[in-house]
Chains A and B, each alone.
Chain A
Amino acid sequence: MAKVLVVEDEPLVARMMEKALKTDGLEVEVGIMGREGLEKAKNTKPDLVILDIMMPEPDGIEVLEKLKADLETANIPVVILTNLSGKHDRELALSKGAADYWVKKDLNLAELGKRVKTVLEKKNG
């Protein structure tokens, strides 16, 4: 079963996503805040990371950079899931190595699982 790591600063939102993804048949790890997120990434080796940007230090971009810098985690695809809808933000994230950039308000929770699966399929072949 594929494993997804959710990195979020709001526990409520994190749990919501966790349950939703589990319903779609995915294994879910949760990291609250950037630091925990980085740790969990290294320890649990997920197949995909869903990363929020708007977090207090370290913010999502920093976390992304660190993930990509660390050999152990560099190959894990990171998808940004955020409220920020600006093109700048999107470009910035993608330029830092994000695999995709999803805006929360355009997203249906039910879709989340499907999208994640699509990304995983792409990665695997």
Chain B
Amino acid sequence: MVVKKFAELLGLGVLVVGLGLTLGTWMVTSRMVGDQVAAEQMRGVELMEEKLKLVVEHYEVVLSGVKGLFAASVEVERDDFSDYFNEVDMLGQYPGVYSFTYVSRVQDGDARDFLAGLRQELSEAGLAGQVREELADTPEHYLINYVAYVHELPPVAYGLDLQVDEVRRKVLERARDTGKMTASGPIVIVGPESPGFILSLPIYRNGVAKGTVEERRQALAGWVNAVVLYKDLFERVLAPTEQMEVHVSEGGQLIYDADRDDGYHWHRNLTSRIITVGGREWQLEFLTTKKIVGGVESGLPVIVLLAGVTVSSLLFGMTYALSSAQVRAELIAAGMTSELEKFKRVVENTSEHVMITDKEGQILFANEAAQRTTGYSWTEMQGHTPRLWGKQMPAEFYKKMWHQIKDLKQTFEGELTNKHKNGERYPVWVSISPILGREGQVEYFVGVERDLTREKMAEVSLKQERDTARAIVDTMGEGLIVVDDTYRITRINPEAEGLLGVKSEEVEGQRWSDVIKAYEGDREIPFEKRTFTRVIGSGKTMVTELDADHYYVNRAGRKFPLVSVTAPFTERGIRGAVKVFKDATDEKESKSILRAQASGVLENAGEGIVLTDEKGRITFVNPAFERMTEYVNDEVAGKVFAESFRFYDTYEKLLSPVELADAAAVTARRQEVKVQVESKSGKKVAIVINAAPLRVGDEFRGVVRMIHDWSEDLALQRQKDDFFSIASHELRTPLAVISGNLDTVLAGYGGSKITAGDRQLLRDSETAGDRLISMVNNFLNVSRLDQGRVKITLKEVDGCGVVGGVAKEMKALAQQKGLRLTYVCKKGREKIRADENLLREIVVNLIGNSIKFTQKGGIKLEGGVKAGRLVVRLTDTGIGIAAEKQKLLFQRWQQAMERTLSREGGGTGLGLYISREFARMMGGDLTLVRSSVSKGSVFELTLPIVKKGLAGTKKKAV
């Protein structure tokens, strides 16, 4: 019975212990879990708080950046302002932002003008109608001058006077007085008509907030503001999570709650925080959901679930916290870099030297202009301070300067000297401002410098110029006279005194026309027509040239011709004129001598001379030309040259004026052309016209043509031509008869009644005759080549076709001798530039030669295209050419030297020399590729392929 009770007790005890243990574990666990959850929640709270603070910092940075814009340049363009913001992911970086604005402080008296100016500026962007005009009843106004919008919403704010609204006014004035970024209380944002607030950063005239409030109020120039919407901001930054939600209030007034309607029941206030934003205090209340808390109290099984949840949330929380820290760091870095990048871009383009250093003076940034002015590149500057080019002033100077900047935290402005990298010293005007951090400590320095070298130099050179001008006027070799608008002499230089025979004291103050009389030829020029009168009257400069025939009569009565330039001048409204003149006696003389000489040349020249003006009209023809054409100057003067005569080409074809393009005028180059001109009596005169453009300075003034009578030359030419034709014909004809008849007899004309001996004799005669024919042909061809008589007409020719044609024609000949003749041409549709006749002759010669010197086998012709040329290769299995003979192969007269000649083969006697010359005349070549005795020879003919069509009609330039 005792045992039973003990067991029960034990069981109970175990149960109790068990329960107790379990309870204990449960309590511990629940506390642990609760702690952990709480801890994780706290981390979430901290995170959100940090995030919000960070965003506010961002705003401060971007606003300071804009402030930098206004400090760096005298004039900020509207576009600069928007550009600054355009590049950035506004919504990404600045959650909640609606717009950024710049507000100008404008005195009442200036307000109207300000708004008018604003309207004009905006009218260019089509926004003029948006400018408001609602001025508050105050001595000064705070007018919105620049706006950069985030969204594409209608601009409503330009010209808005922020004095109109209490809250806005307050924030601006507080910012002004404190010198720090200030936040406003809740306001309704105009536009979206949503609640939000303004962050305002004041901008002072000297860049930095001065000492006292009074000083700040004086120095204030304007504000740069960020307009932020509560909802957008908090939804991004304090977004509610599953476990947490934040409510924000200010001064007891709720400005934001998450407003969720998804059935969560908010139970307890986890914690509250207060953060200061721009001088205002916001209360953040972090609330947690009931679910989590309830989970710990109700039921054991939940613990297990919870434990699992907690562990993972812990893990999650940890990673979250870690990553958030990382994200935070990145955000800060990105924020800073992008601000700098923007600042950089805007400032890059200014011509003023802009630089930013850290508080130790280490250069963080230097714009293009700074690098240019100092001579140091950005890479050279890195790691250094501006002392690199400074240190030119006495030590106290720098001490004072830095005291003002660092200690007094004010902008320093003044002149100092720097040293360029190349050692030169140069003057600059500087403005250096400190950039303060949140607690008012110096973080950075920004310096703007302007190179004064040119300004300083300008001062010096101006004085130099004045001195120089005076010296020039006094010593110049021309006379100089200045008169005022009443024609009284105000200045007369020594040379003028001399020329006119007067002294400046005598004539200053007197009327010019009373002092000196002017003549045109023999007639006195009246006052109204005097140059000074006309110049002062019209305000135009006048030049009196030699042919104007003006004369002055000086005091002594001497009359002298003059050339002059008279120009008007205005100086502060007073008008007068200055004349520079000289005694042109010598020039007039030499001009008439020249004229006489020129006349003489023109009159007596044996060549015809024709002058035409810029329109092609004849202005002059000389006696020689008159003789040639039997027309006199007066008959043709004024007519267009190309239309005044009938011109023919060398083939007696009449050329129309259209074909006679005035090439000399158009191409401004010399032209030489041969034509025939029909004289008055109908005679055709062969002439060579050499035309050159006439220029006076850069102006085209016409064409001068030299006409050479070519008739005699032509006649001589024709005689020579005739000789050649006659020689050819007369030499060849009897030779042909000799050769032909011998042939006929040997071929058995009238039966074979000749003995073997006779036959041999006849054969020898035949051979001799062939040689003679060959030599004659060769001789005539070479002579023609020498004299340039080979007429060559280059056209687009189907090279392969021509060669093939010749090959076909000569096939029979080859076959007669039992030789094969093959031809193959591989090409596309390319044409060559060649003279068809000459080409044929070359090919006939080559094939003929091969047939002649080949006893068995055959001749192979291959055509193809290689490197822009048509290449025709001829290979024969002939007797070949010995190595030492190869050198002489293309020499003149070579074929004539040949001992072994057979009857067959058509004796053109052209010779390889001539064939090659023909080939070269067409831009190609003929070469022996290789040859060996009793093996055969390989020749190659190349000719250029036409890239594009040759020019079409040729105009004769006359």
Contacts and interface: CB of A to CB of B under 8 A. Distances in A.
Interface of A: 10, 12-13, 16-17, 19-20, 22-23, 54, 83, 85-87, 104-106, 108-111
Given A12-B737, A13-B733, A13-B737, 10 more contacts: A16-B736, A16-B737, A19-B744, A20-B743, A54-B729, A83-B729, A85-B837, A105-B777, A106-B906, A109-B739
A106 B732 CA distance: 13
Nearest to A105: B908
18 contacts: A10-B733, A12-B734, A13-B733, A13-B736, A13-B737, A17-B740, A19-B741, A19-B749, A20-B749, A22-B749, A23-B747, A54-B729, A85-B837, A87-B837, A105-B777, A105-B908, A109-B743, A109-B744
Residue from B740, B741, B747, B844 having most chain A Cβ neighbours under 10 A = B740
User: Do most interface residues of chain B lie in helix, strand or loop, or is the interface mixed?
Assistant: helix
A2 B741 CA distance: 22
A55 to B, nearest CB: 12
B810 to A, nearest CB: 9
B173 to A, nearest CB: 104
A46 B837 CA distance: 33
Nearest to A112: B740
Contacts of B728: 83
B744 A23 contact: yes
Contact of B741 (A16, A83, A105, A106): A16
A21 to B, nearest CB: 9
A1 to B, nearest CB: 16
B749 A105 contact: no
A23 to B, nearest CB: 4
- B736, B749, B813, B844: residue with the most chain A Cβ atoms closer than 10 Å: B736
Q: Which of A12, A86, A108 has the most CB of B within 10 A?
A: A108
B733 A12 contact: yes
A36 B809 CA distance: 33
Contacts of A19: 741, 744, 749
Interface residues on B, range: 20 to 34
B368 interface: no
B744 A16 contact: yes
Contacts of B451: none
A86 B737 CA distance: 23
Contacts of A85: 837
Given A19-B741, A20-B743, A106 B733 contact: no
Contacts of A104: 736
Interface in B169-204: none
B316 to A, nearest CB: 99
Nearest to A12: B737
A108 B744 contact: no
A17 to B, nearest CB: 7
B40 interface: no
Contacts, number: 50
A83 B744 contact: no
B583 interface: no
B721 to A, nearest CB: 14
A22 B744 CA distance: 9
Q: Label chain A's interface by main secondary structure.
A: helix
A125 to B, nearest CB: 22
Contacts of B733: 10, 12-13
Contacts of A86: 837
A109 B729 contact: no
B129 to A, nearest CB: 82
B294 interface: no
A19 to B, nearest CB: 5
Interface string B727-755: 01100111011011101100111000000
Interface in B905-936: 906, 908
B60 interface: no
The interface centre, meaning the residue of B737, B748, B749, B908 with most chain A CB atoms within 10 A of its CB, is B737
Top 3 closest pairs, chain A to chain B, by CB: A16-B740, A109-B740, A23-B749
B836 interface: yes
Contacts of B837: 85-87
B896 to A, nearest CB: 17
A83 B736 CA distance: 11
Nearest to B793: A87
Contacts of A108: 813, 906
Contacts of B908: 105
Nearest to A16: B740
B745 to A, nearest CB: 8
Given A12-B737, A20-B740, A87-B837, A106 B729 contact: no
B739 A23 contact: no
Given A106-B844, A106-B906, A20 B744 contact: yes
Contacts of B743: 20, 109-110
Contact of A105 (B732, B740, B809, B836): B732
Contacts of A83: 728-729, 732
Contacts of B744: 16, 19-20, 23, 109
A22 to B, nearest CB: 7
Contacts of B734: 12
B669 to A, nearest CB: 33
A91 to B, nearest CB: 12
A108 B734 CA distance: 15
* Residue in B744, B749, B837 whose Cβ sees the most chain A Cβ within 10 Å: B744
A58 B737 CA distance: 23
B267 to A, nearest CB: 114
Contact of B836 (A22, A87, A110): A87
A41 B953 CA distance: 44
A67 to B, nearest CB: 24
A79 B748 CA distance: 26
Nearest to A54: B729
Nearest to B791: A86
Interface in B768-799: 777
Contacts of A10: 733
A58 to B, nearest CB: 19
Contacts of A54: 729
Contacts of B844: 106
Nearest to A22: B749
Contacts of B740: 16-17, 20, 109
Contacts of B729: 54, 83
Nearest to B747: A23
Contacts of B741: 16, 19
B767 to A, nearest CB: 15
A112 to B, nearest CB: 9
B563 to A, nearest CB: 64
A106 B736 CA distance: 12
B895 to A, nearest CB: 15
B50 to A, nearest CB: 99
B781 to A, nearest CB: 11
